[in-house]
Structures are given as structure tokens and as C-alpha cells.
């Protein structure tokens, strides 16, 4: 670190320590590479924001600037989420916004299109495959650290097309057009952009331009009503994986209610719940959906997450 950066880092740490967010963000706007500058004890601006219980707009701005939610302090090894749990346990919004989950492949692929990092042609077979990959990755996306995103993409590509993409591109004598697919596009354009974003997956927050209703359902709800509720949650998450989040709370609530009722083939009522046979895997209450859980916990919780995110985007 240069002497100038060292001085700036100390200034950033001091402003964050004091909770002086406006001057801090002004400095970071000019020097965005210092967004994760740490104090002598390893506290970044995001750690201090968690400590102070900063407003959602401040948290959101730091995250959009590239604040890393996985960084830990040097002595206590605390992430911003750990600090929020200790200092502001009642701030459920902080616990949600600071959750250290990385972006999934499906989310990164949506970002590629919305940010115009990759372009498809009209009526492009490559676009059809892109949609199929999105569906696959949303259903099976995991948040394990260290997963090999490149190999995972190649495995999925092969599963959906029967084409070993890496082997074909490595052999210059083989055809590069199959069933309307441009294989060089996938290997030379799409994959490098995806890999570049995947390397930043811990510092890319949920963004208004590409978020879907399914994204609001990560992480899972806290606690369940009956044993069938997690199965309904997962099916809804898949069903809503390409549905944009509407601005209107009532419209979002309608989407959630109708999705759940369609999957259950039942309407929410004053009864305690409904039995869905395919959700039955043994055990007490297996296959049962709790109406009370969905109407008083799950759906209101998802609506609340949407409100928190909207506020976090406003700075």
C-alpha cells in the first residue's frame, strides 16, 4: 500500500468508526478500491456499519460499492453478520442484508444480460439454451464455498446439449456450429464473462435490474409450520425464478399467494392446512402445508425482504 493510500485508509477507518456515513461515502466514491480498507483490528466500513446499526440505505450503498460480507476481523474473526448478531440482534433487516451468501450462477447469468455484458440475436438458439441453463442452475444452485463454477457450467452445458464444449473447442478441426448453437460464442465470450463475475460473487449484491421473486426466498425461512412447508417453499422458488420483483407490495403478495395456491391446488382458508401427497416423505405432519405459517410468517417475511432491499437501493 502506498503512503497516500495508507493515509486514506486511516481516514476511512476513522470515519467508519465514528459512524460518519456521508463523508465516508464521499471518500469511497472517489477511491472505490478502498471499500474494504481495514483498520488495525480488521474492521472494514461494512463491519462498522453493522456495529452502529446503520440505515439500510448506507448498508446497500456499501454493498453496491463492493463491500465484502465474508471478511472477518483479525482478533475475534467476526464477519459483519456476526457483529450485527451481537450488537443489533433485533435488526432483522441487517441480518438479511449482511447474509454472506454468494451470488449463484443463475443470478450471475441474469446480471450478464441485464448489464449488457453479453448479447444474443433475435430468435437465437443460444438464447433458448441460456434460458434452459438458468432454469437448471436455479433449481440446483448451492452456496458452497470453493465450488468450481467453470466445471459446473461445462457439466450443465453437456447435460442439456450432449456436447463436450471444452473438447470441441480444443480441437480446431471440429465443427463449431451444432443445432443452431455457436459453440465458440459459449466458450470464447460467454464463459470468460461468467468466470470473471464468479470471481466477484461474494461482493455482488442483489440488484434491482435482475432480481427475481425467487431471489427473495434465499436464505430459507426461519422455522417451518408443517413438514410439507419446505417442499412448497422450494417449488415456489423454482416457479418464480424468472418472475421480476414488482414495485407494488400488493402485486408481489398476489404473485406469492397465487403461486402457492397453484402448487397446492388449494386456497388459503381458515382451516389449519392442506395435505399434498407428493410432499409426503414420512413422519408426523409429512405432506401437510400450514396455512398459518404461510399467511403469518412466510409470505409476510418475503414481502418484508423486498421492502428492505428497495430501501437499500435508495442511497
pLDDT per position as a tens digit, 47-103? 999 999 999 999 999 999 999 999 999 999 999 999 999 999 999 999 999 999 889
Task: Give the CB-side neighbour count of residue 312, counting CA atoms within 13 A.
Answer: 23
Q: Does 221 lie in the same domain as 307? A: yes
Residue 203 within any structural domain of the chain: no
Question: Which pLDDT score is estimated for 177?
Answer: 64
Last-in-domain residue among 198, 226, 256:
198
Looking at the chain, the whole-number percentage of residues with pLDDT higher than 70 is 92
How many domains, in total, are found in the chain? Answer: 3
**Residues sharing a CB contact under 8 Å with residue 156, sequence separation 6 or more, in sequence order:** 133, 136, 137
Last-in-domain residue among 62, 97, 132:
97
Q: Does 77 lie in the same domain as 59? A: yes
Residue 289 within any structural domain of the chain: yes
Judge whether residue 214 has pLDDT over 90.
yes
Last-in-domain residue among 97, 128, 144:
97
Q: Which residues pair with 289 in a beta bridge?
A: 274
Residue 204 within any structural domain of the chain: no
Residue 207 within any structural domain of the chain: no
Average pLDDT over residues 270-298: 88
Residue 302 within any structural domain of the chain: yes
Q: Does 225 lie in the same domain as 306? A: yes
Average pLDDT over residues 188-214: 94
Q: Which domain holds residue 307?
A: 213-312
Q: Does 187 lie in the same domain as 261? A: no
User: Rounded to the nearest 10 degrees, how much is the dihedral formed by the CA atoms of 43, 47, 52, 53?
Assistant: 180
Q: Does 304 lie in the same domain as 243? A: yes
- Residues 89-148 have pLDDT tens digits of 999 999 999 999 889 899 999 999 999 999 888 778 999 999 999 988 876 555 555 568
Amino acid at each position: 500500500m502506498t503512503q497516500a493510500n495508507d493515509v486514506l485508509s486511516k481516514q476511512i477507518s476513522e470515519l467508519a468508526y465514528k459512524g460518519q456515513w456521508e463523508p465516508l461515502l464521499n471518500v469511497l466514491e472517489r477511491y472505490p478500491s478502498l471499500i474494504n480498507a481495514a483498520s488495525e483490528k480488521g474492521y472494514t466500513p461494512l463491519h462498522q456499519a453493522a456495529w452502529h446499526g446503520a440505515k439500510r440505505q448506507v448498508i446497500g450503498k456499501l454493498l453496491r460499492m463492493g463491500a465484502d460480507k465474508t471478511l472477518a476481523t483479525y482478533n475475534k474473526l467476526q464477519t459483519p453478520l456476526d457483529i450485527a448478531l451481537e450488537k443489533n440482534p433485533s435488526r432483522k433487516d441487517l441480518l438479511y442484508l449482511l447474509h454472506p451468501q454468494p451470488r449463484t450462477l443463475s443470478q450471475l447469468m441474469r446480471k450478464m444480460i441485464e448489464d449488457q455484458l453479453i448479447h444474443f440475436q433475435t430468435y437465437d438458439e443460444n438464447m433458448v439454451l441460456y434460458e434452459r441453463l438458468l432454469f437448471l442452475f436455479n433449481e440446483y444452485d448451492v452456496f458452497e464455498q470453493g465450488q468450481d463454477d467453470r466445471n459446473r457450467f461445462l457439466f450443465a452445458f453437456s447435460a442439456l446439449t450432449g456436447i463436450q464444449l471444452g473438447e470441441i473447442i480444443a480441437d480446431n478441426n471440429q465443427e463449431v456450429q451444432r443445432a443452431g448453437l455457436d459453440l465458440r460464442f459459449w466458450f470464447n465470450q460467454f464463459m470468460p464473462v461468467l468466470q470473471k463475475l464468479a470471481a466477484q460473487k461474494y461482493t455482488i449484491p442483489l440488484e434491482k435490474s435482475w432480481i427475481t421473486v425467487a431471489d427473495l426466498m434465499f436464505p430459507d425461512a426461519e422455522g417451518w409450520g408443517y413438514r410439507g412447508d419446505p417442499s412448497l417453499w422450494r417449488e415456489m422458488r423454482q416457479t418464480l425464478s424468472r418472475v421480476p420483483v414488482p414495485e407494488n407490495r400488493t402485486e408481489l403478495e398476489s404473485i406469492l399467494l397465487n403461486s402457492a395456491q397453484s402448487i397446492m391446488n388449494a386456497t388459503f382458508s381458515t382451516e389449519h392446512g392442506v395435505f399434498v401427497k407428493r410432499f409426503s416423505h414420512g413422519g408426523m405432519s409429512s405432506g401437510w402445508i400450514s396455512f398459518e405459517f404461510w399467511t403469518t410468517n412466510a409470505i409476510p417475511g418475503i414481502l418484508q425482504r423486498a421492502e428492505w432491499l428497495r430501501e437499500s437501493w435508495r442511497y
